[in-house]
Amino acid sequence: MIKIPSEMRTKKYWRETFEAYLYLLPAFVVLGMFSFYPVVKSIYMSFFDWSLLRQQQYFVGFENYQRILSDKVFHQAINNTIRYVIGYVPFSIGLALIVAVLLNSKIRFRGTLRLAYFLPWVTSSVAISMVWRWIFNQHYGLLNMLLVRLSNMVNAVVSFVTLGNYPEVWQFSNPNWLMDPKWTIINIVIIAVWKSMGYNIVIFLAGLQNVPNELYEAAEVDGASPWQSFRKITLPLISPTTFFISIISIIGAFKLFTEIYVLYTGRPGPLNSGMTIVYYVYRNAFERYRMGYASAAAYILFGIIFVFTLIQMAVAKRKVHYAS
């Protein structure tokens, strides 16, 4: 027989339960309608040939999943998304960590510098992607104009040093950033790293604040180099922070959509080079009204994110040191 804890039998407990449910009611209704219900419904829909354009929907079993997994465009979406994750996550975390460690030393203008690094994070992805579209412009964009100057400078220096034997080591080819498919993911990585760095820096700074200063002083007394104390003190002690940031970044990276949509004005880049999983979902659901098919694709996205989170948690178990 189940033993009911004594507290459960009192009138007070049930009164409190009733009150608590009243407090939870608004949140529960909204979450129920717009989170719990759709999560279940989209599993259900993913087994149907479900079109918004007609009344009758047809059960198809796993056909949607099979068709998605054998769709070349979906392979491209997976491929692009993974390339983006691989490009974005290490840069975003690595650069943020470097800047955070530098900012964490006793320096002046710390607040101002932190503000400068942070500002991109609050801006709207749409507005800022528009700005980057202008910067990436082949003929009049800032990026190519800066690269021309840089290449001229490099060439002048190299030519001078080598006594004119190598007059043009850097042959600047004026890349067409937005039209050439090979740059698509790199463009997005640049924007995303630029935009997300400040957020990661702020979180790293909070983590660094928790590393006791005595450890560094002791290490210095023992003759450790700055690099050694970074490797042996900073890195292990902020590993929970690094872990948190890497989970957030990877999950965010798999959901790439807005930047692509704006940078390429409602198209997934030249030759689908910017097709991502979320873009694939969007296109099938809201351009082709294949709701069941798109739901299946959304669930595949969920599966991928879920697997990555599990892998990271397994890695974290071995590598992350939580202060006890």
Partner 1 sequence: MLAQHETWQYRWRKTASRTILYLVLFAGAAIMMLPFFWMLTSSLKAPHEMTLRTIQWFPKVPQWENYKIAWNAAPFGTYFKNSFTIALAVTFIEVIFSSLAAFAFAKFNFFGKNFLFVLFLGTMMIPGEVMLIPNYITMVDFGWVDTYYALIIPWTVSVFSIFLLRQFFMSIPHDLFEAALLDGCGKFRFLTTILLPLSKPAIVTVMLFKFIGSWNSFLWVLIMTNTPKMRTIPVGLTYFVSDVGSYYNYLMAASTFAMAPILILFLVLQKQFIQGIAHTGLKG
Contact 88/253 with Cβ under 8 angstroms? yes
Answer for which of 88, 117, 177, 183 binds partner 1 (CB under 8 A) is 117
Site for partner 1 contains 58 (CB under 8 A) = no
- Per rule CB under 8 A, is residue 171 in the interface with partner 1? no
Q: Computed over its alpha carbons, how large is the radius of gyration of the chain?
A: 26
Compare residues 275 and 285 and give the one whose CB is closer to partner 1.
285
The DSSP symbol for 106 reads S
Binding mask 11-40 for partner 1 (x = CB under 8 A): --xx-xx-xxx-xx-xxx-xx-xxxxxxx-
Tell me the angle at which helices 239-254 and 184-209 cross, rounded to the nearest 10 degrees. Answer: 150
Question: Between residues 3 and 163, which has the closer beta carbon with respect to partner 1?
Answer: 3
Restricting to residues 220-279, name those near partner 1 by CB under 8 A.
Answer: 241, 244-245, 247-248, 251, 254-255, 257-258, 261-262, 265-266, 278
Taking CB under 8 A as the rule, does residue 202 contact partner 1?
yes
Q: How far is the CB of 99 from partner 1 (least distance, A)?
A: 6
Q: Which of 86, 122, 153, 156 is close enough to bind partner 1 by CB under 8 A? A: 122
CB under 8 A, 24+ apart: contacts of 18-26: none
274-303: which residues touch partner 1 (CB under 8 A)? Answer: 278, 281-282, 285-286, 291, 294-295, 298-299, 301-302
Taking the complex as a whole, the smallest distance from the CB of residue 273 to partner 1 amounts, in Å, to 20
Question: Least distance to partner 1 from the beta carbon of 171, Å?
Answer: 18
Of the candidates 190, 193, 200, the one whose C-alpha atom is nearest the C-alpha of residue 114 is 200
Residue from 82, 145, 158, 186 binding partner 1 (CB under 8 A) = 145
- The neighbour count for residue 316, using CB atoms within 10 Å, is 18
Tell me the backbone φ, ψ of residue 285, rounded to 5 degrees.
-80, -50
- 319/324 Cα distance (integer angstroms): 15
Under rule CB under 8 A, residue 56 binds partner 1:
no
Nearer to partner 1, 44 or 62 (CB): 44
Q: Is 134 in the site for partner 1 (CB under 8 A)?
A: yes
Residue 58 phi/psi, 5-degree rounding, is: -115, 130
Number of residues interacting with partner 1: please give it, by CB under 8 A: 98
Give the ranges where 136-212 is alpha helix by DSSP (H).
Answer: 142-161, 184-209
Among 69, 73, 113, 215, binds partner 1 (CB under 8 A): 113
Please, are residues 297 and 277 in contact by the beta-carbon 8 Å criterion? yes
Site string for partner 1, 70-99 (x = CB under 8 A): -----------------------------x
